Amino acid sequence: QVQVVESGGGLVQPGGSLRLSCVASGSGFNKYTMGWYRQAPGKQRDLVAVITSGGNTNYAESVKGRFTISRDNPKNTVYLQMNSLKPEDTAVYFCNRATGISGIPYYRTWGQGTEVTISS
């Protein structure tokens, strides 16, 4: 199973930017579709963005045009560049292997995530 460690969260004012990182352990990372997900307080965990091994991407409608997912296979890392942040982006962000471009999580277990708070 791929183990992941997310980082890069923090407190940012509306309109600001953050870049999240997810470092995965184990071999085979370059073959996996990887996704970013988020869970706001009191809400379910939802897909934010997904990237396939070939670099195809898919985004939630709410983040299209503002967020960009990318990956660095030699570093076993997937990134989420978040621009024009809004208070409604406040959530704990997680990464996970995904089953495909639809972004359904592959594993039932999750890392600790990284907390993002957008507030003035």
Q: Considering only CA atoms, which of 20, 4, 17, 23 is closest in space to residue 92? A: 20
pLDDT, one tens digit per residue, over 2-58 is 899 999 999 999 999 999 999 999 888 999 999 999 999 999 999 999 999 999 999
Is 111:55 a contact under the CB 8 Å cutoff?
A: no
- Any residues with CB less than 8 A from the CB of 115 and at least 6 apart, and which? 9, 10, 91, 92, 93
Higher pLDDT, 3 or 81: 81
Looking only at the bridges linking them, the beta strands covering 77-82 and 57-59 are unpaired
